[in-house]
Structure 1
Amino acid sequence: MLSVSEEVREAVERRRPVVALESTIIAHGLPRPQNLQVALELEELVRREGAVPATIAVVDGQARAGLDKEQLERIAAGEGIRKLGHRDLALAVAAGASGATTVSATALLAARAGIRIFATGGLGGVHRQWTADQDESADLRLLARTSIAVVCAGVKSILDVPATLQRLETLGVAVAGYGTDRFPGFYLTDSGHPVDWTLRSPDDVAAVLRAQDLLGGPDSALVVANPVDVSQQLDPGLHARVLAEALRECDKRGISGQAVTPFLLDYLVRRTDGASLSANLAAVRGNVRLAARIAVSWSAP
């Protein structure tokens, strides 16, 4: 049920560096036609660092690791493209549907394809109203049982960051800051919360992955939290003010469940005049570059 492109398959078999990329940002995270341009740019960033990109999606009921340009264009067009978490994969395949994969679905399919390194923007996590609705991203439990390194800019700052960190600890998912002892806040360099471990080079990350394999035990992910550069982050004061407005508006409109995250993200883009989107893209680019460098180190003899 998983089709791996010839380029990706050969790279995995020969232990060459490969980086998995999610497709949700292409179909649902960016405006058109910028989304296709960014998708192609991210793949090119991986190649410049000496690795092979493997964008993951479901096309006409076929889960794919490694898309050609035509398939990328279909995902970017957005017509009939569903948003697929790992729970949706079997349904999409059976129905012959097409969809963009979220963090959880991408991590699952990447691991099945033999890919160890995955770059994304920010993870999902525990929502701010968890005590009322127990809304938690499926990303967390999936990462708790999948051997993959996820390079991200922390969790989305619209979430409950300390609760998410606690949940990751409970689930046994290792978290390390890259070049920092602070957990990044997606749009923000610092979420205001510490991390217990700091890794300072791609070789450091690769060493952790090798140690995971040698130690054995239950499969679980390594979260490499890579902060967006201070010069490219969203202004913290603006972020706090607009997010507070967005949360109040959310309550006022009675928005809940899965509708909360897209509403808040869209609100931030509109009320920051696109500054949040710029910070998002800066974070994603930085994560993709770092993931490719880690993949090169991981693949070294």
Structure 2
Amino acid sequence: MIIADEVRSALEDGRGVVALESTIISHGLPTESSARVARQIEHAVRGSGAVPATIAVVDGQVRIGLDDAGLERIATDPVVVKSSIRDLGNVCAAGLTGATTVASTAYLAHRAGIRVFATGGLGGVHRGAAHSFDESADLPALASVPIALVCAGVKSILDVGATLERLETLSVELVGYGTSRFPGFYIQDSGYAVPWVARSADEVAAVLRARDGLGLPQALVVANPIADGKEMPRDLHDATLASGLEALAAQGITGKDVTPFLLAWFHEHTHGVSLQANIDLVLGNAQVAGEVACALTR
């Protein structure tokens, strides 16, 4: 594990550090804009006073913090492997380059001593999971990694209700950031409530300190809705989701290919509306995560 000098110094000095995943760079955004957006996300973390640590595997080596060359590699290399926890051993042993998911980023960030992590949307239970058993590895990973994850809820392409049930079963604590409603990625309200509300970064930090004192091993999910005026129109969202699910079934796409397919479907069939919403919500999460990381140091 190679920790970038800036990240290592911040950790040693007790300053705020925010982990960032790399799958969003390689698989979640169009190649022509992904490196630029990744730098914007890092800039949003810096704007809140914290240090960004984008995590990836480059030529078989885990990197906690990427330089420009590494970030460009993740953004543009067509053979970057989408790497969850179960893939890390093979990717590292084979000397490959891998983009880390929410699960593997959380795991590696915790190993490096980073307490706060920002992403776009959390993975969860897929529609039809009662028959396919298709559930994101993000959920069990968060059941064993004591990190604060700031996200815009779960991706609306998933079974939101079932995902919330699984989070409860796994004892993964959930708070809404300034909201009592669980966000749905592109939209502010997925139709479900959250059990607890935190109204500031200091309140989130207080919850994390209390959890540390109790020795709780699970993550704290901080659900931060996309900003007012930035969400996708509900009718456009619902129509695009319905057509995307039909295309998914028609093409027989399953497993880890489902999410990239549906995100690409949204990007293509909303003519850029979903892409902009995706960028806006990630930037908002990065800022909040930076504020939480700094609040933890006070």
TM-score tier, shorter chain, comes to over 0.9
Higher mean C-alpha deviation, range 89-98 or range 135-144:
89-98
Q: Deviations over 1:163-201 (max 9, x none)?
A: 000000000100010000000000000000001100000
Mapped to 2, the partners of 1:114 and 1:227 lie a distance apart of 27
Matches within 5 A, 1:42-81: 42-81=41-80
> In structure 1, what is the equivalent of residue 200 of structure 2?
201
Counterpart code for 1:236: R
Mapped to 1, the partners of 2:227 and 2:39 lie a distance apart of 22
Counterpart code for 1:299: T
Mapped to 2, the partners of 1:163 and 1:30 lie a distance apart of 26
Asked if residue 185 in structure 1 is aligned to residue 179 in structure 2, the reply is no
Counterpart code for 1:278: Q
Mapped to 1, the partners of 2:261 and 2:2 lie a distance apart of 34
Shift of 1:223: 0.1
Aligned partner of residue 105 in structure 1, secondary structure: helix
Mapped to 2, the partners of 1:146 and 1:194 lie a distance apart of 24
Asked if residue 270 in structure 1 is aligned to residue 268 in structure 2, the reply is yes
Shift of 1:274: 1.3
> Which residue of the other structure, out of 240, 243, 255, is the alignment partner of 1:242?
240
List runs of 5+ in structure 1 lacking aligned partners: none
Shift of 1:77: 1.3
Q: Deviations over 1:85-127 (max 9, x none)?
A: 0111111111111111110010000000000000000010000
Matches within 5 A, 1:137-176: 137-176=136-175
Q: Deviations over 1:30-86 (max 9, x none)?
A: 112211111111111111211111000000110010111111111111232111101
Mapped to 1, the partners of 2:248 and 2:177 lie a distance apart of 33
Shift of 1:299: 1.0
Question: 4+ residue runs of structure 1 moved beyond 4 angstroms?
Answer: none
Counterpart code for 1:101: T
Aligned partner of residue 29 in structure 1, secondary structure: coil
Mapped to 2, the partners of 1:296 and 1:116 lie a distance apart of 11
Shift of 1:295: 0.6
**TM-score (normalised: structure 1):** 0.97
Mapped to 1, the partners of 2:140 and 2:93 lie a distance apart of 24
The answer (yes or no) to whether the contact 2:151–2:285 under 8 Å persists in 1 is yes
**TM-score (normalised: structure 2):** 0.98
Aligned partner of residue 89 in structure 1, secondary structure: helix
Higher mean C-alpha deviation, range 243-252 or range 145-154:
243-252
Mapped to 2, the partners of 1:258 and 1:171 lie a distance apart of 21
Counterpart code for 2:232: L
Matches within 5 A, 1:1-301: 2-217=1-216, 219-300=217-298
Aligned partner of residue 122 in structure 2, secondary structure: coil
User: Does 1 or 2 have the higher relative contact order (CA < 8 Å, sep 6+)?
Assistant: 2
The answer (yes or no) to whether the contact 2:50–2:294 under 8 Å persists in 1 is yes
Shift of 1:253: 2.2
